[in-house]
Amino acid sequence: MTGAMDGDVDAATIRIYYESLFLLCESQEEFRTLADKLVDALPSGGFSPYIAKVAILCEMNAGAYSTIEQLNSRSVEMGVDPSAASYLKARFYFDVSKDAVKAMEALKPILAQTSTNVSSNRLEASLLSAQCLMASGKRDKALNELLGAVKLNPYFAKTFALMAENLIAMNTQLEKARQCAERARLLQPESEAIVKSLHSVYEKLVSEKERRHEIKVEWILGCRHRDAVEQCAPIT
């Protein structure tokens, strides 16, 4: 097994630990205390920059940071690399501050990467950029961003889940939305978020089918009514 694979396994394990802690803890303070103990328990040199980013994301999801300064301080403390730090800032602005404009600004250094050997931050930045565009109502641009993300990694479930969500909102390619949601489910069947996305697609498809059926019925009834009126009209 290569070092990269080892790092991926470690990151997945750390994510499980942190998410388990989050579910078990009754308060953010308790979560932060146990999270710090988990960091201290890791072997020296075993806490890679990627795992540090995952840990901070879990802490952010738990509400551990109320200011960007707190996040920046934690990133320095955990040894997060500049690219990951930019991504974490963008996530803070988007998830915590609800400011898509600042989030896009924070993503610019990552999105400017042109190397073919881009880091995972580049893919994640593309997805977050798409979410910012979706939140701003720029759905066509968001779709282009997601298509670019597919080129970076055609096996990343979240890309297809977001694409399905975006297409549903556009309400123009519902069948394509279904295909994207089902591909996301195939790639990551254990994800509750993706299952919900697929459910939303099917609800939308059923709703649209019923709407078209109602329109067709109304049209048929309208035609019959018109024919009846014409038949009853007095001859002049």
pLDDT by residue for the chain (236 residues), tens digit each? 233 333 444 555 666 666 666 555 555 566 666 666 666 555 544 556 777 787 888 788 878 899 999 999 999 988 888 989 999 999 999 999 999 999 999 999 999 876 554 566 888 899 999 999 999 999 999 999 999 999 988 988 889 999 998 998 888 788 888 899 889 888 888 777 777 777 777 777 776 665 555 544 455 555 554 555 455 555 54
Segments making up each domain of the chain, as ranges: 1-80
Angle CA(184)–CA(86)–CA(151) in degrees, nearest 5? 35
In sequence order, the 6+-apart residues with CB closer than 8 A to the CB of 142 are: 130, 131, 133, 134, 166
pTM above 0.85, yes or no: no
* Chain-centre distance for alpha carbon 145: 13
Asked if residues 53 and 88 have their Cβ atoms less than 8 Å apart, the reply is yes
> Tell me, what amino acid is at 25?
C
| DSSP for residue 236 | -
Which pLDDT does position 143 carry in this prediction?
95
**Taking Cα atoms as reference points, which of 133, 210, 209, 188 lies closest to residue 165?**
133
Q: How far apart are CA 94 and CA 73, in angstroms?
A: 19
**Taking Cα atoms as reference points, which of 56, 54, 58 lies closest to residue 25?**
58
Q: How far apart are CA 17 and CA 15, in angstroms?
A: 5
Which pLDDT does position 130 carry in this prediction?
97
Angle CA(26)–CA(32)–CA(33) in degrees, nearest 5? 90
Asked if residues 107 and 87 have their Cβ atoms less than 8 Å apart, the reply is yes
